[in-house]
Chains A and B, each alone.
Chain A
């Protein structure tokens, strides 16, 4: 009984009668229609809110569009202006500086924690949960608390530093030199628990036999870490680095709430500069802001393409 359907389908494959072939085309059309109805409710929103705006962005960057919707064609003038705009240069420098510190710092902190926690210990489960919590807490609340903790005179952090014997603790968010480090500290605090979870998942995949074998061969803890753990963690490390980079490029809300880019322009980042050009500065210039946006867009695309290429190569 079980063989009958198989035979029937084999026969059909040999000589499809005309009606059967037509119904195949019909089936394809039917599947296409059904497939689209599944995707459509989400796709309409996705197209209107994400795809069309991204396409419009490029056109907008070639005009001097303003908040009232008036626009003239500017060609590449907006892009030329970028070369002489010192605020843009500051924002770019700050964003790159932020990324250059945030990425290694967060990687080191989260990987270090993951390695510490990757053993049988009392309270590990609780700690994992707690470590993840800052990641889902609202930026406004986080910024409010940290701003108070960073308060130069009576804040928790400076009182602690003075207790340690440091006589002139930094002014943090009130100082042009220390406002960026303050933001970096908060961001590392926010993200490290989340990346730690990803690293912990990666550590579970490291075969214990490899560690045992290396130990037999007399490899010390550091050697085992370098030659056994790290190679096994390479995919996770790569993924975390990409995520960190993307998040570094889009850092904005925390900066906006904690320092508003200040003092001066010491924490002005690209995303915030776009915001300022479009919605804060008078007269607003959507066209020029769009040109800065295109630069940000291109930067994040480069990161994504690198990720894609490296992943492909690994699969090959």
Chain B
């Protein structure tokens, strides 16, 4: 094989890689592009032969009328309340418990952690029924608290924070102890400030999964005034299945906050998910 041959081979392989990546990008992005394009059309222009890739005419009204025709403001408000509370509780209880698991020694700790590990693989759907019965008996059925409780105490946060805490040298703890700091003080003044990347990951991932949660609200929230954006959008689709453009407008609005968060903090998303390999 001559040098020229090898070079040709490398060049053609490179071209192939570029073409393949370009095709994959189109495949990955097409649904999002289609969502946005369709939201800027009239209903009649969404399904055409051939496809209208550039809206003609451009219709921006959908983004105004969706706020009056649906309960969109209420949905957004409810989803925000739930997501913010869930995120706060998950980050607080998760990092607090992680400190106990990573830095304290006491009998029963490892068994307890094994119980946490064991449930990671258990599908929520397999225990949603007893959970539903219990939360209803506690009077939480049809309240926001049910959804918050459902999401806020996941094992995911404990894992993520524990594995990060374990990467921090224990000598710091010992030094702080000698300086008279209590364990709680160490958690707050030393571990938390040093774990900003992990906290950012956990915050973003928890917020996103709370924002996207669909099954929990569908099972628990009967009052329209409590609906989240996912459940509202889903109901709108069922009731007005011919309003293609409006449905796509709703879809864009439900994805938009996540997209903004994602592109602002993509590093933390990727790191958080790569550390533990699981999503909440």
Give A residues with C-beta under 8 Å from B: 28, 31-32, 34-39, 41-46, 48-54, 56-57, 60, 65, 69, 113, 116-117, 119, 121, 123-124, 127-142, 144-146, 148-149, 151, 153-156, 159, 189, 193-194, 197-198, 201, 239, 243, 246, 249-250, 252-253, 256-257, 271, 274-275, 278-279, 286, 289-290, 293-294, 296-297, 300-301, 303-304, 307
Q: Are A293 and B125 in contact (CB under 8 A)?
A: yes
Which residues on the A side are within 8 Å of B118 (C-beta)? 304
Q: Are B125 and A274 in contact (CB under 8 A)?
A: yes
Q: For the complex, give the distance between the alpha carbons of A289 and B125 in Å.
A: 10
Q: Specify which of B17, B51, B105 is in contact with A121 (CB 8 Å cutoff).
A: B17
Q: For the complex, give the distance between the alpha carbons of A249 and B119 in Å.
A: 14
Q: Give the contact stretch, choosing among B63-71, B166-174, B193-201, B253-261.
A: B253-261
Q: Are B130 and A131 in contact (CB under 8 A)?
A: no
Interface size on B, residues (CB 8 A): 97
Q: Are B21 and A271 in contact (CB under 8 A)?
A: no
Provide the main secondary structure of the chain B interface.
helix
Closest to A287 in B: B129
Q: Does B152 contact A (CB under 8 A)?
A: yes
Q: For the complex, give the distance between the alpha carbons of A307 and B118 in Å.
A: 12
- Which 4 pairs show the lowest CB-CB distances between chains A and B? A45-B153, A38-B100, A35-B104, A250-B123
Which residues on the B side are within 8 Å of A140 (C-beta)? 214, 230, 233-234, 237, 251, 254
Give, as a whole number of angstroms, the nearest-CB distance from A60 to chain B: 6
Q: Are B254 and A57 in contact (CB under 8 A)?
A: no
Contact with A along B104-115 (1 / 0, CB 8 A): 111101001001
Q: Are A57 and B129 in contact (CB under 8 A)?
A: yes
Q: Are B34 and A149 in contact (CB under 8 A)?
A: yes
Closest to B253 in A: A141
Q: Does B72 contact A (CB under 8 A)?
A: no
Give B residues with C-beta under 8 Å from A: 14, 17-18, 20-21, 24-25, 27-32, 34-35, 38, 46-51, 89, 92-94, 96-97, 99-101, 104-107, 109, 112, 115-116, 118-135, 137, 149-150, 152-153, 155, 157-158, 183, 187, 208, 211-212, 214-215, 219, 230, 233-234, 237, 244, 247-248, 250-252, 254-255, 258-259, 262-263, 266, 269-270, 273-274, 277-279
Give, as a whole number of angstroms, the nearest-CB distance from B184 to chain A: 8
With contacts A146-B31, A148-B34 known, what are 14 further pairs, Cβ within 8 A? A32-B106, A38-B183, A39-B101, A60-B133, A69-B133, A132-B269, A136-B258, A139-B230, A155-B47, A156-B51, A278-B129, A278-B132, A300-B126, A301-B122
Q: For the complex, give the distance between the alpha carbons of A186 and B126 in Å.
A: 24
Give, as a whole number of angstroms, the nearest-CB distance from B48 to chain A: 7
Most chain A beta-carbon contacts within 10 A, residue among B50, B244, B277: B277
Q: For the complex, give the distance between the alpha carbons of A253 and B94 in Å.
A: 26
Q: Are B116 and A253 in contact (CB under 8 A)?
A: no
Closest to A115 in B: B17
Q: Are B25 and A130 in contact (CB under 8 A)?
A: yes
Most chain A beta-carbon contacts within 10 A, residue among B14, B105, B247, B251: B251
Q: For the complex, give the distance between the alpha carbons of A129 and B100 in Å.
A: 34
Which residues on the B side are within 8 Å of A304 (C-beta)? 118, 120-121
Q: Are B46 and A148 in contact (CB under 8 A)?
A: yes
Given A49-B149, A159-B50, A300-B121: A54 and B234 within 8 A (CB)? Answer: no
Which residues on the A side are within 8 Å of B27 (C-beta)? 189
Q: Specify which of A35, A116, A294 is in contact with B20 (CB 8 Å cutoff).
A: A116
Which residues on the B side are within 8 Å of A256 (C-beta)? 215
Q: Are B97 and A137 in contact (CB under 8 A)?
A: no
Q: Are A271 and B123 in contact (CB under 8 A)?
A: yes
Give, as a whole number of angstroms, the nearest-CB distance from A165 to chain B: 15
Q: For the complex, give the distance between the alpha carbons of A127 and B34 in Å.
A: 19
Most chain A beta-carbon contacts within 10 A, residue among B116, B123, B158, B215: B123
Q: Are B47 and A154 in contact (CB under 8 A)?
A: yes
Closest to A196 in B: B24
Q: Are A56 and B106 in contact (CB under 8 A)?
A: no
Which residues on the B side are within 8 Å of A123 (C-beta)? 21
Q: Are A239 and B119 in contact (CB under 8 A)?
A: no
Closest to A246 in B: B121
Q: Are B97 and A39 in contact (CB under 8 A)?
A: yes
Q: Are B134 and A38 in contact (CB under 8 A)?
A: no
Which residues on the B side are within 8 Å of A127 (C-beta)? 21, 24-25
Closest to A29 in B: B106
Q: Are A144 and B129 in contact (CB under 8 A)?
A: no
Which residues on the A side are within 8 Å of B106 (C-beta)? 28, 31-32, 35-36
Q: Are B150 and A49 in contact (CB under 8 A)?
A: yes
